[in-house]
Amino acid sequence: MDTERVRLAASSVTGGDPVDVETISETIRRALRLGSGRPDRAELAAAQEELRGHIALLIPLARQEFRRLSRRGDETQARELAARIDGTEHRAGQGLPRDILAAHVQIGHLTRDCQYLLATHTAADWR
């Protein structure tokens, strides 16, 4: 796999700036490690902000992929992607819950959302 090509995958949506797959992947790895420890609220809040930033970058790219799938007639995949985009936007827009367990759950959801969007972007780049 040409990891340099994937790492530097540029999009007109991002103004020609590359999507830094390595940085996003490292954020995901750090967020996943939070689930196995006892992070404090500040660590969870920092992870949430990092994930939100990556999600904000990846959502427009996922929408481009949705449009491509719709044009191709891949309605099932397009609907699945649209549902994931909607759910991700909803979760990313929520504040961090006060309850530490609920905050852990939310970070887990955002982490998986970010993973999904990144995988969608990198897979679309190879089509």
Mean pLDDT of the region 110-124: 93
Which amino acid, one-letter code, is at 84? R
Q: Around Cβ 53, how many Cβ atoms within 10 Å?
A: 14
Lowest mean pLDDT among 11-25, 30-44, 49-63, 76-90: 11-25
In the chain, the percentage of residues whose pLDDT exceeds 70 is: 83
Q: Work out the mean pLDDT of the chain and round it to a whole number.
A: 86
| Assessment of whether the complete model's pTM goes beyond 0.85 | no
pLDDT over 50 at 4, yes or no: no
Burial (CB < 10 A; 0-12, 13-18, 19+), residue 72, is: exposed
Query: Do residues 74 and 103 lie in contact, with contact meaning Cβ atoms separated by under 8 Å?
Result: no
For residue 43, pLDDT over 70 is answered with: yes
5-39: b (≥16 Cβ within 10 Å) or e: ebbebebeeeeeeebebeebbebbeebeebeeeeb
- Tell me how far apart the terminal alpha carbons of the chain are, to the nearest angstrom: 13
Where is pLDDT greater, at 15 or 85?
85
Reported confidence tier of residue 19, pLDDT bands at 50, 70, 90: confident
pLDDT of residue 13: 41
What are the b/e assignments for 73-85, b being 16+ CB within 10 Å? Answer: eeeeebeebeebb
